[in-house]
């Protein structure tokens, strides 16, 4: 330990010296940063891996998940939740779905999209020729809003670094934004989902397809046709053929 203290003191002294000599930037290897604790920025968002077993990507996501589990940024949501709902699926997924927020079933089980809307999402994923575990599923909010109310802008802002870090870690080829909340939280646009769906947008250089939320499809089954059209566009972007239905 005293060795480490000496190294840190020497490094700080050297940096001080360089600063006085006019140096304004130094390059630091990611490995050097691994293990340092940060406040505010999730390590994965800062490009830092934690050393805890599993692949570096799994480590990133599990350390982020641990941060989400103890998050109390939204006092109402953190008081009311049974479980946080981080996200699920393949950490190397080429396709990522982003929903709004957990409902009662998701809060109970700690898994995204497991209720009625989730079962419909699973059917959509399978109709596209994937298994649920091939893709990655996350939400804008990681906690259930009481009575499933629409997330408040402050809640979306509080939770956004976690979603950004997930996207950053997974680096999907294509994302699908399910419903208006997901679209608005990622894209700075005020156009309704009906106008946006079916058209490509870009988020952090990743193509994103807005489409209707599966909960809307449960209330309005004829809109499934539009969602299937959107999913065929997504498959084409991924260079895959739509399975025959
Ligand atoms: N609706 C969502 O937006 N997300 C879920 O996880 C479940 C329902």
Q: What is the CATH number of the domain that holds 128?
A: 3.40.470.10
- The residue whose CB lies within 8 Å of the most ligand 1 atoms, and thus the one to mutate among 101, 163, 211, is 101
Instruction: Give yes or no: residues 33 and 142 share one domain.
Output: no
Chain-centre distance for alpha carbon 142? 9
Q: Is the pTM of this model over 0.85?
A: no
- pLDDT at residue 23 in the model: 55
- pLDDT at residue 59 in the model: 81
- pLDDT at residue 206 in the model: 98
Task: Indicate if ligand 1 lies below 6 Å from the C-beta of 230.
Answer: no
Instruction: Give yes or no: residues 200 and 216 share one domain.
Output: yes
- The residue whose CB lies within 8 Å of the most ligand 1 atoms, and thus the one to mutate among 113, 135, 176, 179, is 113
End position of a domain, from candidates 12, 30, 50: 50
Is residue 229 a part of any domain in this protein? yes
Instruction: Give yes or no: residues 12 and 117 share one domain.
Output: no
Instruction: Give yes or no: residues 204 and 114 share one domain.
Output: yes
Q: Per-block average pLDDT, block size 10, for the chain (245 residues)?
A: 45 52 50 37 41 71 96 98 98 98 98 98 98 98 97 98 97 98 93 97 97 98 98 98 87
- pLDDT at residue 66 in the model: 97
CA of 110 to the centre of ligand 1 (A): 11
- pLDDT at residue 16 in the model: 52
End position of a domain, from candidates 11, 31, 50: 50
End position of a domain, from candidates 50, 70, 88: 50
Instruction: Give yes or no: residues 220 and 154 share one domain.
Output: yes
Instruction: Give yes or no: residues 93 and 135 share one domain.
Output: yes
How many domains in the chain?
A: 2
Instruction: Give yes or no: residues 31 and 101 share one domain.
Output: no
170, exposed or middle or buried, with CB in 10 Å at 0-12, 13-18, 19+? buried
Instruction: Give yes or no: residues 66 and 157 share one domain.
Output: yes
Is residue 243 a part of any domain in this protein? no
Task: Indicate if ligand 1 lies below 6 Å from the C-beta of 87.
Answer: no
Residue 137 contacts residue 171 (beta carbons within 8 Å): no
Rounded to whole angstroms, the Cα distance separating 106 from 194 reads: 26
- pLDDT at residue 41 in the model: 39
Instruction: Give yes or no: residues 123 and 182 share one domain.
Output: yes
- pLDDT at residue 19 in the model: 56
Is residue 42 a part of any domain in this protein? yes
Is residue 109 a part of any domain in this protein? yes
Is residue 245 a part of any domain in this protein? no
SS3 call for 172: coil
Instruction: Give yes or no: residues 15 and 120 share one domain.
Output: no
Q: In what order do the strands lie in the sheet with 206-211?
A: 88-89, 136-139, 95-99, 174-178, 206-211, 201-203
CA of 44 to the centre of ligand 1 (A): 24
Q: Which atom of ligand 1 is nearest to the CA of 99?
A: 3
Task: Indicate if ligand 1 lies below 6 Å from the C-beta of 185.
Answer: no
Task: Indicate if ligand 1 lies below 6 Å from the C-beta of 136.
Answer: no
Give every CB contact of residue 69 below 8 A, 6+ residues apart in sequence.
84, 86
Is residue 244 a part of any domain in this protein? no
Is residue 242 a part of any domain in this protein? no
Instruction: Give yes or no: residues 123 and 142 share one domain.
Output: yes
Tokens encoding 160: 């956004």
Task: Indicate if ligand 1 lies below 6 Å from the C-beta of 151.
Answer: no
Residue range(s) defining the domain that contains residue 63: 56-237
Instruction: Give yes or no: residues 23 and 134 share one domain.
Output: no
Is residue 20 a part of any domain in this protein? yes
- pLDDT at residue 188 in the model: 83
- The residue whose CB lies within 8 Å of the most ligand 1 atoms, and thus the one to mutate among 97, 98, 99, is 99
């Amino acid at each position: 330990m005293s060795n480490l203290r000496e190294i840190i003191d020497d490094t700080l002294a050297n940096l001080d010296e360089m600063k006085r000599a006019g140096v304004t930037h130094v390059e630091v290897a990611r490995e050097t940063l691994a293990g340092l604790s940060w406040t505010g920025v999730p390590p994965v968002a800062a490009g830092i891996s934690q050393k805890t077993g599993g692949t570096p990507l799994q480590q990133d996501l599990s350390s982020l998940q641990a941060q989400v589990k103890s998050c109390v940024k939204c006092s109402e949501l953190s008081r009311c939740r049974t479980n946080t709902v981080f996200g699920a699926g393949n950490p190397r997924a080429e396709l990522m779905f982003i929903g709004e927020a957990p409902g009662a079933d998701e809060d109970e089980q700690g898994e995204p999209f497991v209720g009625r809307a989730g079962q419909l999402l699973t059917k959509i994923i399978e109709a596209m020729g994937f298994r649920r575990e091939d893709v990655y599923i996350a939400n804008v909010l990681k906690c259930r809003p009481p009575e499933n109310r629409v997330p408040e802008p402050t809640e979306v802002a509080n939770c956004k670094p976690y979603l950004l870090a997930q996207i950053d870690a997974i680096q999907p080829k294509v994302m699908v934004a399910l419903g208006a909340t997901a679209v608005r939280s990622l894209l700075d646009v005020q156009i309704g989902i009906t106008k946006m769906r079916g058209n490509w947008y870009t988020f952090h250089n990743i193509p994103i397809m807005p489409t209707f939320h599966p909960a809307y499809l449960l209330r309005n089954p004829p809109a499934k046709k539009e969602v299937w059209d959107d999913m065929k566009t997504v498959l084409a972007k991924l260079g895959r053929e739509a399975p025959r239905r």
